[in-house]
Amino acid sequence: MRMTEAASTSPIVTHAGEDEASSPLTASLDNRILPKVVTLVAVIVPMAATIFAVVELWERQVFPVDLALLGIFYLLTGLGITVGFHRYATHRSFKTNRAVEFVLLALGSMAVEGQVLQWVATHWKHHRLADKPGDPHSPLEGLLHAHVGWMFDGANVGVPEHDAKHLMGDPVARFVSRTWIVWVGVGFAIPFLVDGWRGLLWGGLVRVFLAHHVTWSVNSVCHQFGRRSFETPDQSRNQWVVGVLGLGEGWHNNHHAFPESALHGLRWYEIDVSGYAIRAMARVGLVGEVRRPSAARITRRRYRYALNALSEGTNRRKAAVTSASETAGAPPSTSPVGAGPS
């Protein structure tokens, strides 16, 4: 999940007598530096605006319309990311028509997390290489790297032509990707038209700041902290705070166990606002063929994980007993752990 990697579209101008061989080098430098500058601005400006907004809140210079714009646009653009970019465009967890697809992807673009083709490619690559070399945002390289640092590195981001092939023939996704900056502008313009500069602050910049850090927490926090319900070849975890704030995205171990599932909250108490939205859209006919693993499949995976965890725990206890016996100079006991004298 990363900001778009903007590239310079301005031609490199060479003057008479200048060594033209330097032009490719200059272009290469521009293409490496400019995306990092754009990303830095997209990270710093919402953060600075949020600090200012907190001061305003402390001084009681905030009105109900400001908070309403924050909540409404956080929810709408958040669902654009979670339902549109993630569960639909990346994993095809349900089917829908082009009008609904356009609305979802346009709302996701307003979240300022990049072009949908690039977003999907990077996320798909994360699933292929989760917590392994080549993972775009693995916390194995550090929590800060997984949260935000990877966007300034850019070495392992996905390539749409390779990692998002299923979208290359999708005219809606390609159009929204090409016009990404337009939807970003719309996402700021509407709050401004409703409430002027205060609307832009709360419904625009503060909303972007909060949405960014919740999204990035899925990459960082949900691969380091929380509980696991299923065995997966990575370190994904379920984290309830991110689950609530991230509209269901924090049930990350569930997602890595069943990436095709439109519902990430697999228990009644795992709050999944995005899943509720998909169910509601299905009831009124806006989406169909909603994918979800069967109850039997979920139970089998949970049972297998519980058995593996029990086995690993027993082995650790045996190893601890053996180590303690060797340290004391006594021969290791061959009795089962927990067995008393006969």
pLDDT at 94: 98
33 phi and psi, to 5 degrees?
A: -85, -45
pLDDT at 10 over 60: no
**Residues in CB range of 113: below 8 A, 6 or more apart:** 1, 2, 3, 81, 85, 119, 211, 212, 215
Mean pLDDT of 74-81: 98
pLDDT at 19: 44
pLDDT at 189: 98
pLDDT at 265: 97
pLDDT at 1 over 70: no
The residue behind tokens 């697999």 is 266
Bridge partners of 287? 96
Model pTM greater than 0.95? Answer: no
pLDDT at 304 over 70: yes
d(CA 14, CA 124): 40
pLDDT at 255: 98
User: What DSSP line would sit under 140-176, residue for residue?
Assistant: GG-HHIIIIIHHHH-TT---HHHH-GGGTT-HHHHHH
